[in-house]
Structure 1
Amino acid sequence: MSNTSIEIIPYEPTYQQAFKALNLEWLERYNLLEQIDMDMLNDPEKYILNDGGYIFLARLNNEIIGTAGLVKEHNNTCELVKMCVHRDHRAKGISKLLIEACISQARELGVERIVLFSNHQLQAAQELYKQYGFNYVTLEDSYFVTADIKMELKI
């Protein structure tokens, strides 16, 4: 599979179930599922999109195989949320396409930084974030109980 067959598309409500299923699989695999995750997955419009956020989806042959979102926050900041790729399609560069779409969108929005909350178990994800210039910062302002890592990218 080449990345040329992967499309990065904006979220549409018809993809809500795929968005939810992909993220649930990922979160449950690492025992990280929390109520705030369920809120976001059940109502992405309310929790991500309505206040100027974005969700990008990776599509291959009309199947949604990856997701990543940006929540617009205060102080010229966006938060990277709900980034995952279907287990059968990991390590193929799809996460890179999703993170690049999010960084590009954040630049268009004129934000100064992107933050993310993660967990120490997710080593591969952290390595990806570091490749794109994210650095570890003091963990604060997290609404995720399971988050024990915060990273930031200054744009």
Structure 2
Amino acid sequence: MEQSIQIIEYQTIYKEDFKKINVEWIEKFFKIEPHDLEQLDAPEEIINNGGQIFLAKLGDEIVGTSALIHDGDDIYELAKMGVTPKAQGLGLGKKLCIFSIEEAKKRNAKSLYLLSNRKLIPAITMYSNLGFVEVPIGATLYERTDIKMDYPLQ
């Protein structure tokens, strides 16, 4: 099964997969917020604004997503990370995260951060193990955010 996993860049034909995977995990733990819908209903805007969306493909099926959102001044947010329940446990979240970190490095990002919630213990643990460190949150567009983590690029 490992051989059939690919990380690919977003294409319009995967718009519904991107939204479905993210809505599924967000609704499992939280509620969909207006800023979620802004991004999930118009993923092309993420790309048009200098970011990128990555998809994990298992065989012919999209089973995971991550987004690198350009926040201006060579600052990027790692966001919209999700893996379908049937594909969890295959290390896809970690692969998507590493792929996104490498893309941020290729873009000479000054900063890469993510916003999350402490109750997502497996995700927070993975981020920490990959080198993300907790930093002060500041203002955020999400009610569910109670932790901000930064990846040391410099």
TM-score range for the pair, normalised by the shorter chain length: over 0.9
Q: TM-score, normalised by structure 2?
A: 0.95
The 3 A distance-change label for structure 1 pair 32 and 148 is: farther
Separation in 2, partners of 1:23, 1:113: 24
- Structure 1 match to 2:101: 103
Select the residue among 54, 59, 62 that pairs with 1:61.
Answer: 59
- Structure 2 match to 1:20: 19
- Structure 1 match to 2:92: 94
- Structure 2 match to 1:10: 9
- Structure 2 match to 1:134: 132
Q: Give the partner amino acid of 1:66.
A: G
- Structure 1 match to 2:36: 37
- Structure 2 match to 1:123: 121
Separation in 2, partners of 1:14, 1:127: 32
Gaps of 5+ in 2: none
Q: CA deviation at 1:76?
A: 2.5
Separation in 2, partners of 1:45, 1:119: 26
Backbone CA RMSD of aligned residues: 1.0
- Paired-residue identity, %: 36
* Aligned partner of residue 148 in structure 2, secondary structure: strand
How many matched pairs? 153
Q: CA deviation at 1:97?
A: 1.1
Gaps of 5+ in 1: none
Separation in 2, partners of 1:26, 1:65: 12
* Aligned partner of residue 104 in structure 2, secondary structure: helix
Q: TM-score, normalised by structure 1?
A: 0.95
